[in-house]
Amino acid sequence: MALKIEAASKDIAEIGDKCIVIAFFEDNLKLNKDIASFDKTINNAISNSIKNKDFKAELNEVKSFYVNSKKLDYVALLGLGKEKDFNLNKLMDAVSALSKKLRGMDIKSFSIYFDSFKNKNFDFESYLEKIIQAAALSLYQFTRYKTKDLDKVKRVDRVNIIVNENDANKAKKIVDETLVYAEAVNKTRDLVNTPPNVAVPEYVADYAKEIARKNGLKFTVLDEKQLEKLGMECYMAVARASVNKPRMFILEYNGKGNENPIVLVGKGLTYDTGGVNAKPANYMVNMKDDKAGACSVIHVLEACAKLKIKANVIGIGAMAENAIGGNAYKPDDVLKSYSGITVEVIHSDAEGRMVLADALAYSLKFKPKAIVDIATLTGASIIALGYGISPVLGNDQELVDKIKHAAEKSLDRVWQLPMPEDYEELIKSDVADIKHVNSDIDAGVIVGGIFLKQFVKDAKWAHIDIGATVWAKQEKGYKIKGATGFGVRLLLDFLRER
């Protein structure tokens, strides 16, 4: 059963559930009137554990106890740390720690007392939103390919959020909308986590087609013959060594009459071996995540339809597999891109930008108001900003600023890197118009951006490099080991803020 999250107004003394959750700040351990009278009904369990320092409300601390009450099995106290240091990231961490702890205790349903999160910086909407996101994202698990011990997998079925009576309607609307976000992230995680022998380009295109059918989106797909015929030599060069043929799909959502669309372009490499410049084994493993950009685009479009957002949005997924074969493209090849620009190949592992060059140029046919691409483009993004922040680059500051703003709201963090004009000499070629990488490893992220920039002409464009943020090696808060779904909340907040 999928996780259900609901908001309801209830008297704290009347909550009948497996567990009730009350949050505290380290520097404000007083019980309000309602909690104090509730505490009396459970033999002062809360005040006692505070008094004897059994619970100190340190950030992410979870203290639970069994209460012998008709209506309740457990009370859980959640620590939020110091009030002045608190923020939305910490809120998500705390609720994630809580959710996973309660799941570990096999508690299938719990109620969160929303009022207990109030503090000087409290904001109803963002607090509610982040609590829901944290619960839904942190309880994610990918078990599709497990066959053993499935009966031992613990699941939470329901999370209730207890709000005041006059906030109930407002809360229900926020819950419904936020669940669309959470579902979009988790479905993106599922698709990215799907192994590369299953999730080949055609599989992902068919998946997108099904999403389109269910949500009333327009769907188009171009196969290898059509891509070839269109003259997408850069895209086809990457794709042609694989038996799993490329697919470029286009999803169209219409929510604002005949306004020019915002086009989202996702890199969709279902596997990246590196090509003839093969990756060493420890760098190749996990390269199924190289399709994450396209996977996010699919679910952002689905969410646009579900939320009925007021914008026209087109999503393009450029699917291919970068394989090794006798007909593979190789360094020194010169290819004519869809835009007409000729490209000298330097390194077959810089394949994402080759595919995107043609997909971006193709996107111009929709006369976009703005183009945003999302791509696992570089390992250099890991060096530049680490696993928690994605580089963003673009040719229009206003557009980049909107993405930065959405990043702050969504908590999918970005940091802008520049594309100085004089760095364009890094992609100067002796034989073709440009080369796709520089011959050294300096400024890897920026060079990726500068290369892509050549193909969008004068359209407003931004590029989000999710090479680092796409995958969680270790579990951390709501980031579960595996695909993170980074960028989905970011793009949705970006589209909705416009």
Catalytic residue positions, numbered: 279, 353
Site string for ligand BES, 178-197 (x = CB under 6 A): --------------------
Q: What span, in angstroms and rounded, lies between the C-alpha atoms of 265 and 402?
A: 17
Please state the closest distance from residue 465 (CB atom) to Mn ion, in A.
13
Question: Nearest CA to 208 among 293, 301, 102, 288?
Answer: 301
Q: Which is nearer to ligand BES, 61 or 289 (CB)?
A: 289
Q: Is 272 in the site for Zn ion (CB under 5 A)?
A: yes
Amino acid identity of residue 486, one-letter, is F
Q: Which residue from 272, 373, 412, 493 is in contact with Mn ion, where contact means CB under 5 A?
A: 272
Q: Which of 196, 246, 317, 467 binds ligand BES (CB under 6 A)?
A: 467
Sites for ligand BES among residues 379-408 (CB under 6 A): 379-380
Nearer to Zn ion, 160 or 381 (CB): 381
Min CB(198)–Zn ion separation in Å = 19
Query: Are 329 and 345 in contact, with CB atoms under 8 Å apart?
Result: yes
Region for 19 from its dihedrals, namely left if φ exceeds 0, alpha if ψ lies in -120 to 50, beta otherwise:
beta
Under rule CB under 6 A, residue 347 binds ligand BES: yes
Nearer to ligand BES, 244 or 378 (CB): 378
Sequence-separated (6 or more) residues with CB below 8 Å from residue 115: 32, 34, 162, 163, 164
CB 314 within 8 A of CB 251: yes
**Residue 380 or 446 having the CB closest to ligand BES:** 380
Residue 349 C-beta: closest distance to ligand BES, Å: 4
Q: Which stretch binds Mn ion (CB under 5 A): 46-54, 349-357, 421-429, 457-465?
A: 349-357
**Closer Cβ to Mn ion, 289 or 351, answer by number:** 351
Cα separation, 355 vs 409, in Å, equals: 31
* Closer to ligand BES by Cβ: residue 380 or 407: 380
Token couple for 28: 């404000």
Q: Residues touching Zn ion: how many (CB under 5 A)?
A: 4
Binding segment toward Zn ion, per CB under 5 A, in 237-245, 344-352, 363-371, 427-435: 344-352
From residue 275 to residue 294, the character string flagging contacts with ligand BES as x (rule: CB under 6 A) and all else as - is ---------------x----
Q: Is 224 in the site for Mn ion (CB under 5 A)?
A: no
Find where tokens 């070629």 sit: 429
Q: How many residues bind ligand BES (CB under 6 A)?
A: 14
Window of 25-33, 128-136, 255-263, 378-386 that interacts with ligand BES by CB under 6 A = 378-386
* Residues 28-57 interacting with ligand BES (rule: CB under 6 A): none
**Residue 378 interacts with, from Zn ion, ligand BES, Mn ion, none (CB under 5-8 Å by kind):** ligand BES
Closer to Zn ion by Cβ: residue 61 or 349: 349
Closer residue to Zn ion, CB minimum distance, 269 or 411: 269
- State in angstroms the smallest separation of the CB of 330 from Zn ion: 16
Closest approach of ligand BES to the CB of residue 367, in Å: 29
Residue 467 touches which of ligand BES, Mn ion, Zn ion, none (CB < 5 to 8 A by kind)?
A: ligand BES
| 224, 349, 412, 493: which one binds Mn ion (CB under 5 A) | 349
Binding site for Mn ion (CB under 5 A): 272, 349, 351
Binding interface with ligand BES (CB under 6 A): 272, 290, 347, 349-352, 376, 378-380, 437, 444, 467
Per CB under 5 A, residues contacting Zn ion are: 269, 272, 290, 352
